[in-house]
Amino acid sequence: MLANKTIAFLGAGSMAESMISGVITAEKMSPERVFVTNRSNADRLKEIHDQYGVCAMPQNELPFEEIDLFILAMKPKGAEEALRSIKDKLYPGQVILSVLAGITTEFMEEHLNAGQQVVRVMPNTSSMIQESATAVVAGKNTSMANVEMVKELLECMGEVYTIDEDQMDVFTGLAGSGPAYFYYLMENMEQVGVQNGMDEKTVRKIVAQTIFGAAKMVLEKEEAPTSLREKVTSPNGTTASGLEALRRYNGGEAITQAVEHAAKRSKEISKELEDALVTS
């Protein structure tokens, strides 16, 4: 049960904060069981402590043996150093979870002692409001009980999907990086509203509600987007005209390319880290 576990975030950036916010808001863990640390930014630790009541401290002050789950939440290039810094302090029952783009379970296992349990996950920043779409992949040594514990934690932050590791790059392109594409879309829609005389605050709400409503239709009606789109497109109507412009300006291709480029970057990060390992 998650409530009896103790977790520690190694990294106190935006992703760690989104996850901390999710778990504290869901009231599944008491803040005394949630630790957070970073490399050097003491002001940031204080800010997170003040906001969420969690235990924030330098890494060397963490009660290491009490922690059930360590969450790597630094930039991918810092993963090796972080794994090295904890490797010999860990005992076999402790689990290492990574949220880092491109860091494979194999990479983690290779940088830890034999048999160490690892889990790779990919949340997104909507964790902050319990609306993340999060993927989970367990390493080869990880017990079912620990996978369930990790899923319980991630469910505080939204919906959880178990996927194969070879799907992680595309998942990253779709859901890890996905919120930013919708923010970009919203920025552009908002601009058109403002240019046409609408108040910025109002148009922001209108655009957000429109995207939210469309997403909710897909989820609640369990209907494919293609079918929903066809239903709302009357011949020669306004929507048909808007969609025609989207096609003319290659809107579909732009979206495909965004996902594929992000997925490719995720793959490249894995390769860069492996190459650095071979040459070091």
Ligand X SMILES: NC(=O)c1ccc[n+]([C@@H]2O[C@H](COP(=O)([O-])OP(=O)(O)OC[C@H]3O[C@@H](n4cnc5c(N)ncnc54)[C@H](OP(=O)(O)O)[C@@H]3O)[C@@H](O)[C@H]2O)c1
15 assigned ligand-binding residue = yes
**Lookup: tokens for 134:** 């999060």
Residue 49: which residues within 8 A CB-CB, separation 6 or more?
36, 55, 56
Which of 117, 134 has the CB closer to ligand X?
Answer: 134
The residue sitting closest to ligand X, measured at its beta carbon, is 13
Angle CA 156–74–48, to nearest 5: 60
The CB-of-84 to ligand X minimum distance in angstroms stands at 9
CB of 69 within 8 A of CB of 97? yes
Q: Which residues bind ligand X (CB under 6 A)?
A: 10-16, 37-41, 59, 73-76, 78, 81-82, 99-101, 122-125, 176
Which of 21, 203 has the CB closer to ligand X?
Answer: 21
179 assigned ligand-binding residue = no
The CB-of-219 to ligand X minimum distance in angstroms stands at 21
Among candidate residues 38, 97, 40, 22, the one with its CA nearest the CA of residue 67: 97
Angle CA 38–43–46, to nearest 5: 85
* Helix, strand, coil shares, percent, the chain, to 5: 60, 15, 25
60 assigned ligand-binding residue = yes
Helix (H, G, I), strand (E, B) or coil at 118: strand
Which of 203, 273 has the CB closer to ligand X?
Answer: 273
The CB-of-188 to ligand X minimum distance in angstroms stands at 20
145 assigned ligand-binding residue = no
The CB-of-100 to ligand X minimum distance in angstroms stands at 4
Binding residues for NADP(+): 10-15, 73-76
Binding-site residue ranges for NADPH = 60
